[in-house]
Amino acid sequence: MARRLRLFIPNVPCHIIQCGNNRTEIFLKTEGYCFFLEVLQEARLKHQCQLYSYCLMPNHFHLIINPQQTGNISLFMKLIGGKYVRYFNKRYGRTGTLWENRFRSFLIFGEHYFIRCLRYVETNPVRAGLVKIPDSYQWSSYNYRVLGTGGQLIDLNPWFSNLDTTASEYRLMYAKFIKESIEENELCQLRKITQNGGIFAGQHYKEYINKNYQESIVRRPGRPKA
């Protein structure tokens, strides 16, 4: 079966999710989370990707990345995936893969969709029952975005850049937005597109992208037939 085609466009944010093999835990101790964040910073600078959001869960992680060139996301993920697996295998005396297949991804087009994807990523620990409020979760970009704590790893996002407001006003607006429940149809849409890939956008954006950016599709060969 041919692998699903993936579309990366320079300066268009992309949601990434990578899971542990068989849904096993990929972060066992605090040092693992910290090491992964260090590698994120290295990959962000080396491969010219803006990092708008992250959430490190025990058995998977979410990122929202904005690549400066078409191939940057693949290089970014190759660096963090390979380096973290080497660390994990050495630390825990194991061999072999840590990840479940390739990372999954979808494009985010338009401020309306971008802000909703941010909320989806940064409230993941709440939906998973790990914490009651996103402020209580240490391993996501939420606390830096809203409280300004946790180290400057994420970049200013386009929603903030287009607002005529101060950083403190932005934080209050985002914190208020986060407290709004995600509607069930929106949650279903995000879960479906996370599994299947595609474009999280209005129909006119989807049609425009499909018409004008086919050359940006990352094509992967399927497995050879037996």
**Which residues are within 8 A (CB) of 119 and not within 5 positions of it... i.e. 6 or more apart?**
177, 178, 180, 182
What pTM was estimated for this model as a whole? 0.86
Partners of residue 18 on adjacent β-strands: 61
pLDDT score at 226: 33
> How many residues are recorded in the chain?
226
Helical spans, DSSP H, in 180-220: 184-196, 203-212
pLDDT score at 148: 76
pLDDT digit string (tens) for the chain, length 226 residues: 344 556 788 888 999 999 999 989 999 999 999 999 999 999 999 999 999 999 999 999 999 999 988 889 999 999 999 999 999 999 999 999 899 988 999 999 888 889 899 999 999 999 999 999 999 999 999 988 888 776 678 887 766 666 667 777 888 888 888 888 899 999 999 999 888 888 887 766 666 666 666 544 444 444 433 3
Which sequence spans correspond to the domains of the chain? 10-207
Q: What's the CATH architecture for 10-207? A: 2-Layer Sandwich (3.30)
pLDDT score at 156: 74
pLDDT score at 212: 64
- Please report where in the chains the tokens 């985002």 appear, as a residue: 174
Please check whether residue 57 is in contact with residue 128, taking contact to mean a CB–CB distance below 8 angstroms: yes
Terminal-residue alpha carbon distance, the chain: 11
pLDDT score at 45: 93
- Quote the CA–CA distance of 178 and 157 in Å, as a whole number: 16
pLDDT score at 46: 94
Instruction: Kindly state the greatest CA–CA separation across the chain.
Output: 60
